[in-house]
Amino acid sequence: DAKTTQPNSMESNEEEPVHLPCNHSTISGTDYIHWYRQLPSQGPEYVIHGLTSNVNNRMASLAIAEDRKSSTLILHRATLRDAAVYYCICKIIFGKGTRLHILP
């Protein structure tokens, strides 16, 4: 199973863009990259997913490297409500995620 690696934590200022990196060097050719986030006291919720092309939705953008061994979740303008743990996964294996702190 493809394993993902993410930084333990990151910090960003409010209203600035945030780039959350993820490495998935063992990803197979047909695996999608999914991102979830978990707000305090809630279950994880879906954010975005993609295969090869960059993807945008109302929550975020996903930039996927050409070799697909890494990806970056982009929050264009972080708010305090974006403070959460962000998980990047391929197939069903969750790692420890990145805890994102937003500074007012």
Partner 1 sequence: DVKVTQSSRYLVKRTGEKVFLECVQDMDHENMFWYRQDPGLGLRLIYFSYDVKMKEKGDIPEGYSVSREKKERFSLILESASTNQTSMYLCASTNSVGGGSTDTQYFGPGTRLTVL
d(CA 82, CA 1): 29
Note whether 97 and 9 are within 8 A (CB): no
**Would you count residue 19 as binding partner 1 (CB under 8 A)?**
no
Work out whether 80 is an interface residue with partner 1 (CB under 8 A): no
Residue choice 14, 25, 26, 51 for contact with partner 1 (CB under 8 A): 51
The helix or strand, by DSSP H or E, that contains position 2, with its residue range, turns out to be none
76 binds partner 1 (CB under 8 A): no
CA distance 5 to 95: 7
Rule CB under 8 A: say whether 97 interacts with partner 1.
yes
* Stretch of 12-20, 30-38, 61-69, 72-80 lying at the interface with partner 1 (CB under 8 A): 30-38
**Phi and psi angles of residue 90, each rounded to the nearest 5 degrees, phi first:** -120, 130
Residues that bind partner 1 (CB under 8 A): 2, 28, 30-32, 34, 36, 41-46, 49, 51, 87, 90-97
